[in-house]
Homo-oligomer: A and B are copies of this chain.
Amino acid sequence: MVTIKQVAEVAGVSFKTVSRVVNKEPGVKPQNIEKVEQAIKQLGYRPNRAASLVRKKQTGIIGFISDEISTTPASVAILKGAQDMAWEQGKTLMVFNLDPKKPNKDKLYEECLQHRAEGIIYGAMYHQAVTFSNIFKSLPTVLVNCISTSNDFLSIVPDDEQAGYYVTKQLLSKGYRRIAFLNLNPDIIAAQQRQKGFLKALDEFGLAKSDYHIATIEKVVNNKTINITRDVAADVLTSFKPDAVLCGKDLAAINLYFEIERLGLTVGKDIGVASFDNWHDIPEILDPQLSTMALPYYEMGRLAISKLLSLKTSPPESDQSVYKMACLLCDRQSF
A residues in contact (CB < 8 Å) with B: 1, 44, 46-51, 53-54, 59, 69-71, 73, 76-77, 79-80, 83-84, 87, 92-95, 97, 99, 110-111, 113-116, 138, 227, 230, 251-252, 254-255, 257-258, 261-262, 280-282, 284-287, 298
Cα distance A99–B51 when bound, in Å?
A: 27
Q: With A97-B80, A261-B261 known to touch, is A49 a contact of B255 (CB < 8 Å)?
A: no
Q: Inside 8 A of A77's CB, which chain B residues have their CB? A: 70
Q: Inside 8 A of A287's CB, which chain B residues have their CB? A: 230, 255, 258
Q: Inside 8 A of A76's CB, which chain B residues have their CB? A: 69-70, 76
Report the minimal beta-carbon distance from A253 to chain B, rounded to whole angstroms: 10
Residue in B1, B113, B255 whose beta carbon sits within 8 Å of that of A46 in the complex = B113
Cα distance A156–B152 when bound, in Å?
A: 45
Report the minimal beta-carbon distance from A27 to chain B, rounded to whole angstroms: 24
Q: Inside 8 A of A69's CB, which chain B residues have their CB? A: 76, 79-80
**Protomer copies:** 2
Q: Inside 8 A of A286's CB, which chain B residues have their CB? A: 254
List the B residue with the shortest CB-CB distance to A52: B50
Cα distance A110–B257 when bound, in Å?
A: 49
A255 and B285 contacting across the interface, CB-CB below 8 Å: yes
Q: With A76-B69, A83-B97 known to touch, is A114 a contact of B252 (CB < 8 Å)?
A: no
Cα distance A99–B86 when bound, in Å?
A: 13
Report the minimal beta-carbon distance from A113 to chain B, rounded to whole angstroms: 5
Q: Inside 8 A of A80's CB, which chain B residues have their CB? A: 69-70, 97
B46 and A114 contacting across the interface, CB-CB below 8 Å: yes
**A-B contacts, 23 listed (Cβ < 8 Å):** A46-B114, A47-B114, A48-B54, A49-B115, A50-B50, A50-B53, A50-B54, A50-B59, A51-B54, A70-B73, A70-B76, A70-B77, A70-B80, A73-B73, A76-B76, A94-B94, A230-B287, A251-B282, A254-B285, A255-B287, A257-B258, A258-B258, A258-B287
Cα distance A71–B284 when bound, in Å?
A: 14
Q: Inside 8 A of A262's CB, which chain B residues have their CB? A: 261
Report the minimal beta-carbon distance from A78 to chain B, rounded to whole angstroms: 10
Considering the complex of A and B, which 6 residue pairs feature the smallest CB-CB distances, nearest first? A50-B53, A49-B114, A50-B50, A46-B113, A51-B54, A70-B80
Cα distance A69–B78 when bound, in Å?
A: 11
List the B residue with the shortest CB-CB distance to A79: B69
Report the minimal beta-carbon distance from A24 to chain B, rounded to whole angstroms: 15
List the B residue with the shortest CB-CB distance to A72: B280
Cα distance A93–B298 when bound, in Å?
A: 22
B46 and A110 contacting across the interface, CB-CB below 8 Å: yes
Interface centre among A54, A93, A111 (most CB of B within 10 A): A54
Cα distance A227–B281 when bound, in Å?
A: 10
Report the minimal beta-carbon distance from A120 to chain B, rounded to whole angstroms: 14
Cα distance A71–B114 when bound, in Å?
A: 32
List the B residue with the shortest CB-CB distance to A230: B287
